[in-house]
Amino acid sequence: MNDLLNNYAHVAGEDVIQHLQQLAAPLEGIRVVHVNSTRIGGGVAEILNKMVPLMSSLGLDVQWEVISGEAEFYQCTKSFHNALQGMPVEVSMPLRKAYEATNEQTAEKHRQLLTEADVVIVHDPQPAALLKFLPGRKGKWIWRCHIDVSRPYRPVWRYLKDFVSGYDGSVFSLVDFTQVLPHPQYLIPPSIDPLSEKNTDLAVGKVRAVLQEFGIDPRRPLIVQVSRFDRFKDPVGVIRAYRLTKRFIPQLQLVLAGGGATDDPEGDAVLNEVREAAGDDPDIHVLLLPADAHVTINALQRAADIVLQKSIREGFGLTVSEAMWKGKPVIGGDTGGIRLQVSNHHTGFLVSTPEGAALRIQYLLRNREKLTQMGEKARNFVRDNFLLTRQVREYLTIILGMLRGTGERMEIS
Amino acid sequence: MVKSGDRPPAFRVQDCALAALATGKRAQNLRELRELLRDIHPGCIYYHFWGVLLRPRFDNPEYLNDFAEWARHGLHDHVLAERLAVIHPAEFPDMEGLRTVLIEEIENRLDETDSTPWAKPDREFHFIRTHIAVFDTHRRIENPPELASVVPQMSQGSVFYHFIDARRRTPKGVDDFQAWLAPFGETYADLVNRIRDIDPYFATLRDLREQLAGVMKQYFRGGKP
């Protein structure tokens, strides 16, 4: 077992890694290419940075390429992104032409690699049109959609559907996110990487240093929500839940931590609403953190007694698994992928209102034993279900199915 | 008793992994669910009863199958949820029997109620099915007493394959352990009975492995052959 596999075995369990090795054995040496639109920033790049080395260490020949273009290309793909999530956005003909031209150029640039690969996994809409320009491709092509396309703006979806229909299969994070397509649609929930800066163990001193930096008292109870300043994450509702609780637990502190809002026109407005709602309460800490503040986020989640993700609407909400991996019970909104991660009354609570959140916060802070038990269960739950190793296992299973093509049951000798 | 020449072949420890697939079929109310159930692929029924064992879930979930869970949390019909929850899939030799009883329970409920219960748009019932990849761990058990040391080391995938999936593969619809021990006749009859007593449905795979390991250990430590 190489060093990387050893590291994963240390956190996920040796049996999990042995399982992966056995599953990967018949795939040894096959050429897999991932294609997305960026190497840095965003959830897809984050996961590929970890998944590509892990798949390689299991014996597959894995490469990662990116598509890049001019401003019009990005303008077009940003519109796709919004439209696929339901926003009525018209995408003009010149933008569509820029999109197709960029895909054609990228196809030309990587023609040999992409046509000879055994498996090509294309992430999200940006490179989805590549397939159209590679008619002589040899391998199986998978479209991996990380976006919730359950209620897309139809004209844009119809345009993109023409490109993705030709794939051999697609992968969605949740069944609720799927659309009807003429090929198998696999379901793979996302995962967290236990070895990343955001999730790896931290020394107590480091956690204390972060608390000190923001003037948070380590001796008093702390609740934390980590997410963008977005109305769907209901940060103002979190403040209301905090206030309702504070009447009974006056020592309570709240941290609302989120990344910058440079690409989100509404972000500043929401941040202002949050600051206004927080008022001059010295125990509410509204932290606008840089995108690379992984260690700070890690420390805040570890310092919390309870983590909240009180979203009103949510895609998957991986911050829930991040917190659970740190042994914290999570009080989450009863929506989207949070339902899959928070097992109500076991690893936390699902709530629909600030009042519901306040009730559960009080309950847990007054029942420390229960809080600890839930935290332990939460960590085990993530270990079994939401680590990168599980996601890789499911990719390997799909790849085996596609290459062997033996239907519902594949006997691999 | 098995004569030396009639020994069953070694027990091949297999492992498996499941890939879930959306079918695109979804129900928003109870009538739609009933209609879809009439001709939905049997693999879907299998997945929504047995697949829960390989999915994120916690010990002692409120309801053990997806239909009951949806009746409770999608339709808010407690009565139907309880009736569907009590259906034990191990009692049915194939998915067709299970399909029939599901449809009967739903029809009974529709007859009892004045209106058709609906789910909110984000609480539709989505039919899912699976592909299963089965692979050899290259571990072999030549003699039954080895079960006591091998079973505790099995992955959850192996437990699923040998204890759950086996029920739709073996001629008598039993798990692989019982099927393998059967040719030994009376020698391991007591062990077979103890394995049969383990309920495959009311535990997580981790718990099932512990229960199986406990039975094997107790049996062989108890001085039986």
pLDDT at B32: 97
| Two tokens, residue A360 | 């559960």
Cβ <8 Å between B15 and A19 = yes
Average pLDDT of the residues of chain A: 93
How distant is the Cα of B109 from the closest Cα of chain A, in angstroms?
26
**Among the three residues B75, B94, B129, which one is the final residue of a domain in this structure?**
B129
- Give me the pLDDT at residue A148, please: 86
pLDDT for the residue A233: 92
Is the model's pLDDT at B225 over the cut of 60? no
pLDDT at B58: 59
At A348 the three-state DSSP class reads: strand
pLDDT at A70: 93
* Mean pLDDT value across residues B67-87: 96
Q: Give A27's contacts (C-beta < 8 A, 6+ positions apart).
A: A58, A59, A60, A396, A399, A400, A403
The verdict on B146 and B121 lying in the same domain is no
Strand A185-187 and strand A169-172: pairing?
Answer: parallel
Pair B73, B121 in one domain: yes
Which residue range is the domain that position B114 belongs to? Answer: 20-129
Residues of chain A with pLDDT under 70: 260-265, 406
Find chain B residues with C-beta within 8 A of A187's C-beta.
20-22, 128
Our count of domains for chain B comes to: 2
Collapsing DSSP to helix, strand or coil, A127 comes out as coil
pLDDT score, position A322:
96
Q: Please name which of B15, B11, B12 lies closest in space to residue B184, comparing C-alpha atoms.
A: B11
Residues B136 and B201 in one domain: yes
Interface with chain A: mutation pick from B15, B18, B21, B130, highest number of A CBs within 10 Å:
B21
Across the interface, whether the CB atoms of B135 and A22 are under 8 A apart is answered yes
Residues ≥6 apart with Cβ < 8 Å to B97: none
Six token digits for residue B55: 């999915």
**H-helix segments, A34-153:** 43-57, 71-84, 93-109, 111-116
Same domain for B106 and B62: yes
Residue A291 confidence (pLDDT) = 82
The per-residue pLDDT for B180 is 96
Structural tokens at position A117: 């690969």
Q: What is residue B4's predicted lDDT score, i.e. its pLDDT? A: 52
CA angle at B95 for the pair B94 and B97, rounded to the nearest 5° = 80
Show Cβ contacts of residue A26 under 8 Å, excluding neighbours closer than 6 positions.
Answer: A400, A412, B135
> Looking at the predicted structure, is the pLDDT value of residue B21 above 60?
yes
Among candidate residues B101, B129, B157, the one where a domain is terminated? B129
> Looking at the structure, do residues B179 and B200 belong to the same domain, yes or no?
yes
So what's the pLDDT on residue B176? 97
Q: What is the pLDDT of residue A316?
A: 86
- The answer to whether the CB of A118 falls within 8 A of the CB of A403 is yes
Which of B113, B129, B145 marks a domain boundary?
B129
Q: What is the pLDDT of residue B31?
A: 97
Residues near B8 by beta carbon (within 8 Å), at least 6 away in sequence: B2, B180, B183, B184
Distance CA A251, CA A368 (A): 15
**CATH architecture of structural domain A204-385:** 3-Layer(aba) Sandwich (3.40)
User: What homologous superfamily is domain A3-191+387-404 in, according to CATH?
Assistant: Glycogen Phosphorylase B; (3.40.50.2000)
A362, A221 in Cβ contact below 8 A?
Answer: no
* Chain B interface, best mutation among A14, A19, A149, A400, by max B CB count within 10 A: A19
